[in-house]
Chain A
Amino acid sequence: GQNIDQPTEMTATEGAIVQINCTYQTSGFNGLFWYQQHAGEAPTFLSYNVLDGLEEKGRFSSFLSRSKGYSYLLLKELQMKDSASYLCAVDHFEGGSYIPTFGRGTSLIVHP
């Protein structure tokens, strides 16, 4: 089966930098996604990594190490609106299908 682990909750200060880690165990790895989900809303796509390395998108960056089964999402210049749940999801290929498995999410609280 697939196993994804990420911290349950993190807190940070407005303007700071925060790193949310995600570790996974999977076979047939086909990429890793990060999503942001505000309370009561649908998840929104942030990033996708399929090769090792860092992908940067504005204030958000995502890193992947396939050999270590490890990824992180880096949020810079934190804003209050960044308070949300951050979901790590691994896409894997199994039985002819691409199956995405989500972690439980990391609830990020940004305070002034």
Chain B
Amino acid sequence: DAGVTQSPTHLIKTRGQHVTLRCSPISGHKSVSWYQQVLGQGPQFIFQYYEKEERGRGNFPDRFSARQFPNYSSELNVNALLLGDSALYLCASSPTRQGSGYGYTFGSGTRLTVV
């Protein structure tokens, strides 16, 4: 079975540009969450979507937005990129709204570099 897939794996963008990251959850998983992980730190929660509705939002500026499609895949959009947005962006899926005993299954991430 395919795990959580993310695309692209690596990306280089210029300051001020816009970026779209994509995530396909495990089949049957209805919850998708997005995280930003800076080197040496734990993942920081950005958004959670469940059944195509935003169910949680972390402490990130409005430049960050996301959506979930009818097939439960998701996109994370970041506008007006800053150097500080350089990080590993992780997507995680879960069969339920909360991780509980299943935990969250993470994809391999998109490494974004802003220059």
Contact = CB atoms under 8 A, between A and B. Distances in A.
Interface string B11-47: 0000000000000000000000101000011111100
B45 A101 contact: yes
A25 to B, nearest CB: 16
B58 interface: yes
Interface band, chain A: 20 to 34
Nearest to B35: A102
A30 B98 contact: yes
A97 to B, nearest CB: 3
B41 A105 contact: yes
A33 interface: yes
Nearest to A48: B101
B40 A104 contact: yes
Interface string B69-112: 00000000000000000000010000001111111111111000
Given A31-B98, A33-B99, A98-B55, A41 B43 contact: no
A48 B99 contact: yes
Interface residues of B, number: 28
A44 interface: yes
Interface string A20-36: 00000000001101010
A98 B97 contact: yes
A46 B107 CA distance: 15
Nearest to B109: A42
B104 A100 contact: yes
A41 to B, nearest CB: 7
12 contacts: A4-B42, A33-B103, A35-B103, A42-B4, A44-B106, A45-B105, A98-B55, A98-B98, A98-B99, A99-B56, A102-B45, A104-B41
Q: Which 10 A-B pairs have the closest CB atoms?
A: A45-B103, A102-B42, A97-B56, A42-B106, A98-B98, A102-B43, A42-B108, A105-B42, A43-B106, A97-B55
